[in-house]
Structures are given as structure tokens and as C-alpha cells.
Amino acid sequence: MYDFTPTENQELIVGTARQFAARTLAPRAAELDANGGFPRASLAEAAELGLLGINVPERLGGVEAGAVAYALAVIELAKACAGTTVAMTVSNMVAEVVTKFGTPEQQQEHVPRLCSGEYVVGGFALSEAGAGSDPAGMRTRAVPNGDGWVLSGQKLWITSGTDAGLFVVWARTSDAPGSQGITAFLVRGDAPGLVRGKPEHKTGQHASTTTPLEFNDIELGPEALLGEVGKGFRVAMMALDGGRIGIAALALGCGLAATEFACGYALERQQFGHPIADYQAIQWMLADSATELEAARLLTLRAAWLKEQGRSFTQEASMAKLAASERGWAACDRAVQVLGGFGYTREFPVERYLRDVRVTRIFEGTSEIQRIVISREIARRFARAAG
Ligand SMILES: Cc1cc2nc3c(=O)[nH]c(=O)nc-3n(C[C@H](O)[C@H](O)[C@H](O)COP(=O)(O)OP(=O)(O)OC[C@H]3O[C@@H](n4cnc5c(N)ncnc54)[C@H](O)[C@@H]3O)c2cc1C
């Protein structure tokens, strides 16, 4: 039913991503991991190559290669540098959200600037200190002011918070309970009253910055409203469905890179007079990783394919993210084991892959939240079939 042999167009974008990853991302990955920083130059090059608008219509400055091409490209990018790649996946997600929910004027105003790198990248500001897995508990508020709004509150853990030129920000616009009364807004990075906090000290993905944001009575015009008042939660959930395909691909990139490195190492490393690849214990670890990653890759491509067909893909995107992040983590852990003591040092990149992949089990919905989404969707489908 599914044939994932890449089309010519998919080959083109994946080839572009692979070459960019080898030429630009891979040589800088270890240095960024050691010293941090925001990879502005790499992101500018990515924008030039069309990698900040992979699934965005050409009329808005994207390359319109589709969701499957997007997933395949992200795998290639993440193999080289997961930190730089996460800034790209979030920016692609923001460009897609504005394309889907923006008015024609908002689309024209913002999407070409996201794709071209004029905004550097886009940011997605949903989480707060007290509202992570349960974003409906947010306290950021937007109060009507003439024909616009005044935005106040704080967000936490915002990817590219240091440099993004445009944020989608969610705020409460009424006291309606739970997810009702939440509205999405477009906030420019230079908006007076926007304060970017200091980057968090993270376990991995040091090439990406993650910061708090403060909104000190930011005055927003009516053109900042994204979608309908009080319907912002749906915007966030639909964005995250697509975002989860990107995070699944990111986790796969880390897992595949670690497994490929471990294979090469196992063929070279001699113990007891043999390459360790001769030992079944090592062979089985590599076989398990290869099998689990391939299963997760197929789930990811299937979710992307459903998205591309315009069909429902909420459950499949959560399955893909759950499988790819958990199995990507297991594959990186096995790779460290295959390298033994060397795997635990910075001499080789597998410990970086392990640190970089860890957060894929947390952001854009933890593994526990993915299980909640999947079980809810399964129950819904059973109820529909039964009744
Ligand atoms: C590096 C990084 C980058 C990020 N980037 C962004 C970004 O760009 N934009 C953004 O908006 N957010 C971002 N986040 C935030 C991220 O999405 C949240 O951290 C995540 O959703 C989890 O929320 P939390 O950290 O508050 O954990 P909590 O919600 O406090 O969860 C803690 C634990 O409880 C579990 N748990 C919670 N509720 C349930 C439940 N109902 N059933 C079972 N278990 C449950 C969780 O699975 C987890 O194990 C980022 C986070 C990190 C670490």
C-alpha cells in the first residue's frame, strides 16, 4: 500500500540536505556541542537552500517538496547536528502554521521571511513554567485594547528564543475553562516589551538555544491575531501533530548516526584476537538497533505520507514520535556500549548523539503524552467502528 521509494523531487531535497549536512553541519557539530552558540551562518545557508520551507508552497517562498521529503531531509540533517536541526524543524513548523492558519496578508507578510532566513528562524512559544504537558494551564494573557491586544506573561524553554525573528505565541484571551479561551498571536522578535532570557544549560543539543521569553505589555495590532479568537488551542495541537513528524525524524537521525558509527567501530576494534563485530553480543545489539530504527522510520514516513494526502495523522504522528524517540535513544545507548570506554568519552561522537537524542522523548509532548494521544485516538476509532 505504501511505496516509499523516493520520487525525483524527494531525492533532490534529500540530496541537498545530505550535502549541506556533510559540508556545513558535520564539521561544526563538535565545536558547537563543546562551546554552544547559535549557528546563524549555518541557518542562513539552510534558508538559501530552501531547507526552512521544505513543505511550504512555492508561492510563499518554500520549495513545496511535501511532508515525506521533509521527514527524509530532517533525518539527514540530524545525523550531522541535531541541535542545528531542531532550530530548522521548529522554523519549518512555524512557516507551516502561518501558511495554514494565517490570512493571505499574514502569509505574504511572514512566510517568505521565514523561508528566506530574513527572520533568521521562527519560534514556537507555547510552554510555560507551570504549563508543559498541560499547556491549557497557561497564564500568559492577551487583553483587548482598541482593535488590538496587550500581551503579558512568560514562556519557558523556547527553542531559538535568543535569535528567532518571529514567534507564534499562545495566550489566554478569556477566563473560559481549560483549552477554551486560548488564542494564537504572531509576535515579531523586535516587538517593544519582548525580553529574551538567558539560554538554559542543557544536557545536549548545545547548537540550539532554549530560553525563557517575557512579554511586558506588548501592544499587538489586529494583524497579530492568528486564526480565530478562542480557537488557538486547536492551532497548537495541529501544529504539534506535524511537529512530531519532525521530532521523530530528528531522533532517527541521531539513532542512525550512532548505529552507523558503532558498526564501523566494531569492524575495526580488536579484542581477544578478533574484531568485536565477530561476537554475537555485538551483532545482536546492532541488529536490534537496525530493526527498531527501520520500524520507527516506516511509522514516520507513513505519518508524513498521510499528512501529505490531507488525511488524519494525529495518531500516526504520535506513534512515530514515540517509537523513534524511544528506539533512537536505545540505539544511541547501544552504540555507546559497542564502543565501550571510548563510547563514554568526547573522543567519539556517540556520547553526543546520546545526549542530543534524549530530549526527543520530552519536547513536543513527552512519551507519556504520546501514549495518551494514541490511546485516545484508538478509543475514538473503536467507538466509531462500534457505533
Ligand atoms: C530543549 C527543550 C526545548 C523545548 N522547546 C520548546 C519550544 O520551542 N516551545 C515550547 O512551547 N516548548 C518547548 N519545550 C518545552 C517542552 O515541550 C516541555 O518540556 C514538555 O512538553 C514537557 O513539559 P514539562 O517539562 O513541564 O514536564 P511536565 O509536564 O511537568 O511533566 C513531567 C513528567 O510528568 C509526566 N506527565 C505529565 N502529565 C502526565 C499525565 N497526564 N499522565 C502521565 N504522565 C504525565 C510527563 O510525561 C513527564 O514525565 C522545550 C523543552 C526542552 C527541554
Q: Is residue 1 part of a domain?
A: no
* CB of 285 closer than 8 Å to CB of 259: no
User: 305 with 185, same domain?
Assistant: no
- Whole domain around residue 159: which residue ranges? 123-229
pLDDT digits (tens, 9 = 90+) for 6-55: 999 999 999 999 999 999 999 999 999 999 999 999 999 999 999 999 99
What does the mean pLDDT of the chain come to?
A: 97
Q: Which atom of ligand 1 is nearest to the CA of 90?
A: 8
Is the distance from the beta carbon of residue 132 to the nearest atom of ligand 1 less than 6 Å? yes
Q: Which atom of ligand 1 is nearest to the CA of 202?
A: 1
Confidence of residue 1 (pLDDT cuts 50, 70, 90): low
Instruction: Tell me the CA–centroid distance for residue 169 and ligand 1, in Å.
Output: 17
* 300: CATH: 1.20.140.10
What's the structural domain count of the chain? Answer: 3
* 138: CATH: 2.40.110.10
Question: Residue 276 is placed in which grid cell?
Answer: 568485536
From 180, 207, 229, the end of a domain falls on 229
pLDDT digits (tens, 9 = 90+) for 290-315: 999 999 999 999 999 999 999 999 99
* 50: CATH: 1.10.540.10
Is the distance from the beta carbon of residue 136 to the nearest atom of ligand 1 less than 6 Å? no
Q: Is residue 218 part of a domain?
A: yes
Instruction: Tell me the CA–centroid distance for residue 155 and ligand 1, in Å.
Output: 13
Active site residue 364: yes
* CB of 135 closer than 8 Å to CB of 170: yes
Q: Is residue 2 part of a domain?
A: no
Q: Is the pLDDT assigned to residue 131 strictly greater than 90?
A: yes
Q: Which atom of ligand 1 is nearest to the CA of 133?
A: 29
Instruction: Tell me the CA–centroid distance for residue 365 and ligand 1, in Å.
Output: 6
Q: Is residue 182 part of a domain?
A: yes
Residue 387's pLDDT is 79
Quote the CA–CA distance of 300 and 192 in Å, as a whole number: 40
User: 77 with 211, same domain?
Assistant: no
Contacts of 160 (CB under 8 A, 6+ apart): 38, 87, 90, 91, 120, 121, 122, 123, 208, 209
Q: Is residue 244 part of a domain?
A: yes
User: 100 with 134, same domain?
Assistant: no
pLDDT digits (tens, 9 = 90+) for 153-208: 999 999 999 999 999 999 999 999 889 999 999 999 999 999 999 999 999 999 99
Question: What is the mean pLDDT of the segment spanning 337-346?
Answer: 98
Residue 4's pLDDT is 85
pLDDT digits (tens, 9 = 90+) for 249-281: 999 999 999 999 999 999 999 999 999 999 999
User: 81 with 141, same domain?
Assistant: no
User: 219 with 330, same domain?
Assistant: no
Is the distance from the beta carbon of residue 127 to the nearest atom of ligand 1 less than 6 Å? yes
The DSSP code sequence of 94-154 is HHHHHHHHS-HHHHHHHHHHHHHTTTSSEEEE--BTTBSS-GGG---EEEEETTEEEEEEE
Residue 33's pLDDT is 98
User: 157 with 85, same domain?
Assistant: no
